[in-house]
A and B are shown apart, each in its own frame.
Chain A
């Protein structure tokens, strides 16, 4: 016997892309939080030494011969914030069925991601450190490498969203919103990495 329940109209989509991105974002947050936790543990365990000007005692975590290229790292942070603005512009345009502005915003977003990865390469190039040189160097490449992977995933996400936009998917606002959420989370995550790795050192 098959029991019969009252049937209903097919329910409206429940923002699956947005929810999936939120869940994935939680995973990304834990990934980076875990990595930063290990980084801070190593930093806390490092010996102390006098600073180069002899005025204060500092943690001997960042080797004294390594200089952090602040312009490139700050450019990455600024690029991510600008990307957030573009991603939100895309959401704004999508809600108003303005496909041309949506596509332009997503295209600029994609360009920003290329620029950010370029800035990361510049950081590597300017620091001139070898991955085998020591604990700091090894961990620096590991944590920034994971950030680059997350940026590459973001580029793929932006590319797909942009192609869908250019292809005329006008009822796609939840995907554009999900894309914006990913950007916000990526920016927040990079803020933490920027502060711990590039500022606090």
Chain B
């Protein structure tokens, strides 16, 4: 009898192992858009935690501007390269691409993503490129790296990252263009899906420019090193892809999240909806930045004619995206005025995060105006931080909002309100000191070599901000893990929302929709729900 009992244990253990292998294989080979999206989201959040730690380390080093106390001079260049790369290509870009892959087909009433295996390829190309890029940087590759083979590897891996994100973006754009429910014209597309179309198209139009430049750099660095300045000038050629306005492109979907949530919390149809769509679209004009692969500054010198000539491209590249965000914020306010606002944690995350993105855009524009004298200072890093951390805040709100459709359970609102406040403090503390430090001529991408009275204070405050962002994201991951596995079950429509994904059970079943719905307006669920009390539209 004992022998039989042992065999049962062995069989059960073998069964569990086989089950685990089966689950892993299922995730690796999945073509389900909800799983692919969650792979992107999970990986990006882990990357956000790691990047906040890296930023805090660099901040600790910057507290003492006279000498190196933690790091050595050789590693600083690579650490800054890893930091900038991670902020843009390990966090903000894949986070929103993942959200779009998971959510857009549900919003459109589609049974699947178009070309889901292309999106899956995009994830694995991005993930492997990310790991190889960081490994190459760690082995003294990257911009200014001393290990020639690792510099080559860095260039190839960065190309793989760009290829993966481009492939996933093609999948998203094609889904929005071809897989909408009957009756859903482009003008009736939900705001987030519209922003996903704009953001993914802008990504598809800009990242190939990076890939082409990387092809030149790779061939030159591997063979001749005669044209592009070898490892030293890598940043000169591809630096635009890690900075503004390129980061605005990846933040387009963040603005779309706010546009999606504002009328939901107000319980009304979005007033002036076409203008809202235009506002989101304006943010994606940042794609023009890739066309010239350079920033457009305004020296504000010379004759009035000279100033006007400088102002036009400056405004086109740097002010139009700001106008887009302002339009979205204004129309969101209009929706709030028309309805009766019931703030949710997701909305608070999105509202505060979009505000931070707007501040980042303003700091960026300011840093390009000659008399401000912020060029080359740490203020430009501050602009990136505002945009990226702001976008992370919005993404956390989006996960709170769409979590029920992806996991079937809700996150606790009270804790989420707390995390939203903490993330705001983290973003402001990490970014604002660098704006002030920029005015005091603290150089960017450096940990030593400046001198002003408040240096230690400003850099300490910024380091605390990064540490708080680390706590915020880690806390969010912990709460999400707990509540998405064992938390309270969410209803089918916990937010009294407007778009098609809330008409199906939570979590969304395989194939999403048993029946294809017909859409009669931009807010199809409001057509079949009684109006909320106090709402005027």
**B441 on the A face (CB < 8 A):** no
**B156 on the A face (CB < 8 A):** no
User: Which residues of chain A are within 8 angstroms of B210 by Cβ–Cβ distance?
Assistant: 34
Q: List B residues 437-476 near A (Cβ within 8 Å).
A: none
Q: Are B201 and A23 in contact (CB under 8 A)?
A: yes
User: Which residues of chain A are within 8 angstroms of B183 by Cβ–Cβ distance?
Assistant: 8
Q: Are B170 and A138 in contact (CB under 8 A)?
A: no
Bound-complex Cα distance A179 to B316 (A): 36
Q: Are A2 and B503 in contact (CB under 8 A)?
A: yes
User: Which residues of chain A are within 8 angstroms of B204 by Cβ–Cβ distance?
Assistant: 23-24, 26-27, 30
User: Which residues of chain B are within 8 angstroms of A42 by Cβ–Cβ distance?
Assistant: 227
User: Which residues of chain A are within 8 angstroms of B174 by Cβ–Cβ distance?
Assistant: 16, 19-20, 23
Which of B218-226, B243-251, B377-385, B407-415 lines the interface with chain A? B218-226
Report the minimal beta-carbon distance from A96 to chain B, rounded to whole angstroms: 25
Among B173, B205, B216, contact of A142 (Cβ-Cβ < 8 Å): B216
User: Which residues of chain A are within 8 angstroms of B519 by Cβ–Cβ distance?
Assistant: 5
User: Which residues of chain B are within 8 angstroms of A37 by Cβ–Cβ distance?
Assistant: 293
**B310 on the A face (CB < 8 A):** no
Binary interface profile of A, 46-80, with partner B (CB < 8 Å = 1, else 0)? Answer: 00000000000000000000000000000000000
Bound-complex Cα distance A3 to B505 (A): 10
Binary interface profile of A, 151-162, with partner B (CB < 8 Å = 1, else 0)? Answer: 000000000000
Task: Tell me the nearest residue of chain B to A149, going by C-beta.
Answer: B215
Among A7, A16, A38, A135, contact of B515 (Cβ-Cβ < 8 Å): A7
**B114 on the A face (CB < 8 A):** yes
**B524 on the A face (CB < 8 A):** yes
Is the interface on chain A under 10, 10 to 19, 20 to 34, or 35 or more residues?
35 or more
Q: Are B114 and A20 in contact (CB under 8 A)?
A: yes
The dominant DSSP class at the B interface is helix
Binary interface profile of A, 116-155, with partner B (CB < 8 Å = 1, else 0)? Answer: 0000000000000001111101110111011000000000
Interface centre among B166, B208, B492, B516 (most CB of A within 10 A): B208
Q: Are A16 and B115 in contact (CB under 8 A)?
A: yes
**A4 on the B face (CB < 8 A):** yes
User: Which residues of chain B are within 8 angstroms of A1 by Cβ–Cβ distance?
Assistant: 491-493
Q: Are A5 and B115 in contact (CB under 8 A)?
A: no
**A32 on the B face (CB < 8 A):** yes
**A31 on the B face (CB < 8 A):** yes
Bound-complex Cα distance A91 to B503 (A): 41
Task: Tell me the nearest residue of chain A to B503, going by C-beta.
Answer: A3
Bound-complex Cα distance A27 to B203 (A): 9
Q: Are A2 and B504 in contact (CB under 8 A)?
A: yes
Bound-complex Cα distance A146 to B170 (A): 20
Bound-complex Cα distance A139 to B220 (A): 7
Task: Tell me the nearest residue of chain B to A134, going by C-beta.
Answer: B226
Q: Are B216 and A6 in contact (CB under 8 A)?
A: no
Bound-complex Cα distance A37 to B237 (A): 12
Q: Are A34 and B290 in contact (CB under 8 A)?
A: yes
User: Which residues of chain A are within 8 angstroms of B20 by Cβ–Cβ distance?
Assistant: none
Q: Are A8 and B173 in contact (CB under 8 A)?
A: no
Q: Are B206 and A30 in contact (CB under 8 A)?
A: yes
Report the minimal beta-carbon distance from B234 to chain A, rounded to whole angstroms: 14
Interface centre among A1, A7, A32 (most CB of B within 10 A): A7
Known contacts A8-B516, A23-B170; A138/B177 CB under 8 A: no
**B22 on the A face (CB < 8 A):** no
Known contacts A14-B178, A38-B213, A132-B224; A30/B208 CB under 8 A: yes
Q: Are A5 and B216 in contact (CB under 8 A)?
A: no
Is the interface on chain B under 10, 10 to 19, 20 to 34, or 35 or more residues?
35 or more
Q: Are A6 and B517 in contact (CB under 8 A)?
A: yes
Bound-complex Cα distance A70 to B527 (A): 66
**A166 on the B face (CB < 8 A):** no
User: Which residues of chain B are within 8 angstroms of A19 by Cβ–Cβ distance?
Assistant: 174, 177-178
Report the minimal beta-carbon distance from A133 to chain B, rounded to whole angstroms: 7
Bound-complex Cα distance A141 to B226 (A): 13
**B212 on the A face (CB < 8 A):** yes
Q: Are A145 and B219 in contact (CB under 8 A)?
A: yes
Q: List B residues 476-514 near A (Cβ within 8 Å).
A: 491-493, 500, 502-505
Task: Tell me the nearest residue of chain B to A34, going by C-beta.
Answer: B209
Among A3, A9, A14, A138, contact of B223 (Cβ-Cβ < 8 Å): A138
Q: Are B518 and A32 in contact (CB under 8 A)?
A: no
**B525 on the A face (CB < 8 A):** yes
User: Which residues of chain B are within 8 angstroms of A2 by Cβ–Cβ distance?
Assistant: 492, 503-505
Binary interface profile of B, 99-124, with partner A (CB < 8 Å = 1, else 0)? Answer: 00000000000000011000000000
Q: Are A145 and B215 in contact (CB under 8 A)?
A: yes
Bound-complex Cα distance A80 to B213 (A): 25
Q: Are A5 and B517 in contact (CB under 8 A)?
A: yes
Known contacts A14-B179, A16-B178, A30-B290; A139/B208 CB under 8 A: no
Bound-complex Cα distance A142 to B237 (A): 15
Report the minimal beta-carbon distance from A58 to chain B, rounded to whole angstroms: 20
Report the minimal beta-carbon distance from B205 to chain A, rounded to whole angstroms: 5
User: Which residues of chain A are within 8 angstroms of B213 by Cβ–Cβ distance?
Assistant: 34-35, 38
Task: Tell me the nearest residue of chain A to B177, going by C-beta.
Answer: A19
Q: Are B528 and A3 in contact (CB under 8 A)?
A: yes
29 pairs, A vs B, C-beta closer than 8 Å? A1-B491, A1-B493, A2-B503, A3-B493, A3-B528, A5-B500, A6-B517, A8-B182, A8-B183, A8-B517, A20-B114, A20-B174, A23-B201, A26-B201, A27-B205, A28-B208, A34-B290, A34-B293, A35-B216, A38-B212, A134-B224, A134-B226, A134-B227, A138-B223, A138-B227, A139-B216, A139-B220, A142-B218, A146-B215
Complex A-B, nearest 9 residue pairs according to Cβ-Cβ distance, in ascending order: A34-B209, A135-B227, A31-B208, A7-B515, A5-B517, A14-B178, A35-B212, A142-B219, A8-B518
Other contacts beyond A27-B208, A34-B208, A35-B216: 20, CB < 8 A: A3-B492, A3-B525, A7-B518, A8-B517, A8-B518, A15-B178, A19-B178, A23-B173, A24-B170, A27-B205, A28-B208, A30-B208, A38-B293, A132-B226, A135-B224, A135-B227, A138-B216, A138-B227, A139-B216, A139-B219
Q: Which residues of B contact A (CB under 8 A)?
A: 114-115, 166, 170, 173-174, 177-179, 181-183, 201, 204-213, 215-216, 218-220, 223-224, 226-227, 290-291, 293, 491-493, 500, 502-505, 515-520, 524-525, 527-529
